[in-house]
Amino acid sequence: MAAQIFDIAIIGGGPAGLSAALTGRIRNKEIALFEHLDFSQKLQKAHIVDNYPGLPQVTGKGLVQQMAAHAQAHQPTIIKEKVLNIYPGEKFTILTPAATYEARAVILATGVVATVLFAGERDFLGRGVSYCATCDGMFYKDKNVAVIAYTAEGEHEAKFLGELCRQVYYLPQYKGELPPFRDNVKIVADKPRAIKGDSQVEQLATDKGELKVDGVFILRQSDPVENVLAGLELDGEVIKVNRDMSTNIPGVFAAGDCTGKPWQIAKAVGEGLVAVLSAIGYLETKAKQA
């Protein structure tokens, strides 16, 4: 049985992604919604939202729950996996740690990376910097690596790398009790500052010194979107879009915080709507040309 090819893959389940998924399903398109962050953890932390029309004095958590329930009632396919890479082609190939998916169009609704990129991070991407231990761990068999983790999910990656690598330095950037690790996994309480090397990663500089490593795994809740989709044009730190929310890559659209300020819910919802209508128009044009 052939794998399903979705009409539109939506990357991100915040207000922009949910808005796009809702209208996409109303328009009878096969929608894959990639959502692994509990439908916008950032919005859920908002005590009161009082500037979303029609819902005065609503809690952030309450608003997210209503949006998610509304979208899910129209039955998009929810995929609770982090998207690592998107590869354009006749169809888009979407890679997660668990599987590979295909879609005819893509909407990026990834929000913004909550942490500043490290010096050297972009320079050494693919040359010692990775965002997935499961994907790239074998390249570092019997070598030394560092794992910078912003959530407890990094503990599983560190354990996996401990089975492959000579030495693993685990730098948790979150609070909480850590589980026991193998002897070759060392907990480092330093704050990472920069990734250094010549043609490949050689060191991770911290606020307390330098670690000699062959690779650095950075595990955030979301990755820099330009690293997920190569060739995506940016405007500063955000995705450059046209009024129809199209990007410089045909078939790829963007909506919400990832397209820039104002970082407001109403703006994200509106852009999600525009993006999915534009994606549907793109699919219809391609179908006519076929």
Neighbours of 244 (CB within 10 A): 13
Which has the higher per-residue pLDDT, 136 or 285? Answer: 285
CATH of the domain at 280: 3.50.50.60
Give the span between the Cα atoms of 178 and 88, in whole angstroms.
39
Average of per-residue pLDDT values in the chain: 93
DSSP sequence for 50-63: --STT-TTB-HHHH
Of 70-74, 192-196, 235-239, where does mean pLDDT reach its minimum? 235-239
Looking at the fold, whether 173 and 227 belong to one and the same domain comes out as: no
Q: How many domains does the chain have?
A: 2
Contact 25, 31 (CB under 8 A): yes
Q: Are residues 106 and 9 in the same domain?
A: yes
In a domain, 41, yes or no: yes
Which of residues 177, 194, 219 is at a domain's end? 219
Residues 31-63 pLDDT 10s: 999 998 788 877 887 888 888 999 898 998 999
DSSP-derived 3-state class of residue 254: strand
Same domain, yes or no: 11 and 109: yes
pLDDT of residue 114: 62
Q: Are residues 196 and 95 in the same domain?
A: no
CA distance 261 to 106: 21
User: Domain containing 137: what range?
Assistant: 129-219
Q: What is the pLDDT of residues 207-246, one digit of tens each?
A: 999 999 999 999 887 778 888 898 999 998 899 999 999 9
Residue 124 counted as domain residue: no
> Do residues 242 and 100 share a domain?
yes
Q: Do 235 and 191 belong to one domain?
A: no
pLDDT in tens, 83-111: 989 999 999 999 998 899 999 999 999 99
Q: Which of the listed residues 203, 219, 235 is the one where a domain comes to its end?
A: 219
Q: Using the predicted structure, report yes or no on whether residue 25 has a pLDDT greater than 90.
A: yes
Same domain, 30 and 108: yes
Co-location of 93 and 188 in the same domain:
no
Nearest to 241 by CA among 46, 128, 72, 110: 110
> Looking at 219, 247, 278, which one is the last position of a domain?
219
The pair of structure tokens assigned to 62 is: 């309450």
* 105 in the same domain as 157: no
Summarize the confidence of residues 118-138 as an average pLDDT: 89
- The predicted model scores a pTM of 0.82
pLDDT of residue 272: 98
Is 120 part of any domain? no
Query: Quick one: pLDDT band at residue 205, thresholds 50, 70, 90?
Result: very high
Give the per-residue pLDDT at 167: 98
229 in the same domain as 193: no
User: Does residue 121 lie within any of the structural domains?
Assistant: no
Domain membership of residue 42 (yes or no) is yes
**Mean pLDDT, range 173-202, rounded to an integer:** 95
Q: Quick one: 188 and 69 in the same domain?
A: no
Q: What are 61's two structure tokens?
A: 């958590």
248 located within any domain = yes
> Do residue 176 and residue 233 come from a single domain?
no
Rounded Cα distance between 91 and 100, Å, is: 12
Contact criterion met (CB below 8 Å) for 269 and 63:
no
Q: Measuring CA to CA, how many Å separate 54 from each of 49, 79, 105?
A: 11, 30, 32
pLDDT-wise least confident of 103-112, 133-142, 155-164: 133-142
pLDDT of residue 1: 44
Contact criterion met (CB below 8 Å) for 104 and 86: no
Question: Which single residue is written with the structure tokens 């029609």?
Answer: 54
Residue 115: pLDDT over 70: no
**pLDDT at residue number 173:** 93
User: What proportion of the chain, given as a percentage, has pLDDT over 70?
Assistant: 98
Residues sharing a CB contact under 8 Å with residue 10, sequence separation 6 or more, in sequence order = 17, 20, 21, 24, 31, 32, 33, 34, 76, 106, 107, 109, 276
Is residue 107 situated within a structural domain? yes
Residue-wise burial string across 28-59, b where 16 or more C-beta atoms lie within 10 A, e elsewhere: ebbbbbbbbbebbebbbebeebeebeeeeebe
Separation of alpha carbons 133 and 109, rounded Å: 24
pLDDT of residue 45: 75
Residue 287: which pLDDT band, with cuts at 50, 70 and 90? very high
In-domain check, residue 93: yes
Note whether 237 and 257 are within 8 A (CB): no
Q: What is the pLDDT of residues 1-20, one digit of tens each?
A: 457 899 999 999 999 999 99
C-alpha–C-alpha distance, residues 30 and 283, integer Å: 12
For residue 96, count other CB atoms closer than 10 A to its CB.
19
